[in-house]
A = this chain, B = another copy of it.
Amino acid sequence: VLVVGAGLIGTSIALALRRRGHQLWLTDINAAQLEQAVRLGAGERYNGEQVDLAVVAVPPASTAPVVVDQLCSGTGSTVTDTASIKGELQREVERLLAAHEDSSAAPLALSRYVGGHPLAGRERGGPHRARADMFAGRAWVLTPGPGSSPAAVEDTRWLVTECGAIPLTLSAAEHDHALAITSHLPQMVASALAAQLSSQPDGVLQLVGQALRDMTRIAAADPQLWAEIATGNAAQIAAAIDELTASLHDVATALRSESPDVDAVSALIQAGRQGFRRLPGKHGGAPRSYLVVPVIVPDQPGQMARLLADAAAAGVNVEDLRVEHAPGLPVGLIELFVGPEAAAPLRTALTERGWTLTDEETPP
């Protein structure tokens, strides 16, 4: 396997495959980055050897030309990539191949290409942040084009499963639409919500609770990165924003009249409940109903550990946990999420061990 681009994603793929015993070749236009990846044991410097699969893991804007380079390199290998935008990339690859001097070979070359997007990553890049398990259990979308050969699709699926990821096959348009809804729109909304805080008086900021915090968690994003993502998926992002703002605008209009029509609000909340129920649960299964057991905890080192040790000693599997800091006071509330059957035993065990509990609740 050849990995082109020894950054975070490329080096992580190489490390994952190396751990499975495969032969890896690496190349990068950045010599220092390549050197670092080689030293990390991700593979050997590429010197034109024959390969079965080439993985292009370079920035989105450079992906199409590098994919085409690989398709025309004469190795005959399958080629895939890792860019987060797929439709525009597929079209660019087709355009570049058609314009190539050897254009009669374009359909054959194109048959060896299968677009890919591992849904994993980290905030900061570089081979030194790579890890072999970066893709473990993560979705990895494959977007074969109409001309992709079954053998090329098979090679790419092999890559995904060897990296420990879960292959999901979608069309490029489906992928870009899904990312617009699940990633790009939420980012725009989180940033817009956070942006509104800039002009608010301090009194407003003092009243910010967990809801708005959760909804602006990703607002510290990188403006340049998001400009690039928006370039590759502009129409889908615009459509997703339009749909959201239309439904919000309807509510605002209903509320702005002389006698506000609050049915619009209950209809929106009701529609949200329906969509919310479609969110997949833990381990990709159906949503599971948890109970929340809230525990009042002094904000001191080791309290969370002691609490969880007591829960474990009672044989309770804590499925999730949320820490709520009380503003201005050195106490906090820890909410333990457990299966419904575990709430009562957990309650008894923690009370016996001296913890201050409040009634369990269904999660919000």
Copies of this chain, count: 2
Q: In the bound complex, do residue A168 and residue B206 qualify as a contact, i.e. CB atoms below 8 Å apart?
A: yes
Q: Does A65 contact B (CB under 8 A)?
A: no
The range of chain A's interface size is 35 or more
Q: In the bound complex, do residue B327 and residue A139 qualify as a contact, i.e. CB atoms below 8 Å apart?
A: yes
- Chain B residues whose CB sits within 8 angstroms of the CB of A136 once the complex forms: 296, 326, 329, 331
A133 to B358, CA, bound (A): 9
Give 18 new A-B contacts, CB below 8 A, not counting A181-B212, A206-B280, A283-B326: A136-B329, A177-B204, A179-B207, A181-B204, A183-B212, A186-B193, A191-B271, A191-B272, A193-B272, A195-B271, A211-B217, A214-B215, A219-B273, A227-B269, A230-B260, A237-B252, A304-B318, A306-B309
- Chain B residues whose CB sits within 8 angstroms of the CB of A194 once the complex forms: 271-276, 279
Contact of A301 among B244, B269, B315 (CB under 8 A): B315
- Chain B residues whose CB sits within 8 angstroms of the CB of A195 once the complex forms: 247, 268, 271-272, 274-275
Least CB separation from A357: chain B residue: B131
Q: Fill in one digit per residue for A148-190: 1 if any B CB lies within 8 Å of its CB, else 0.
A: 0000000000000000101010100010011101110111111
Q: In the bound complex, do residue A247 and residue B192 qualify as a contact, i.e. CB atoms below 8 Å apart?
A: yes
Q: Does A312 contact B (CB under 8 A)?
A: yes
Contact of A275 among B168, B179, B216, B359 (CB under 8 A): B216
A276 to B215, CA, bound (A): 11
A140 CB to closest chain B CB (Å) equals 11
- Chain B residues whose CB sits within 8 angstroms of the CB of A256 once the complex forms: 234-235, 238
Q: In the bound complex, do residue A248 and residue B255 qualify as a contact, i.e. CB atoms below 8 Å apart?
A: no
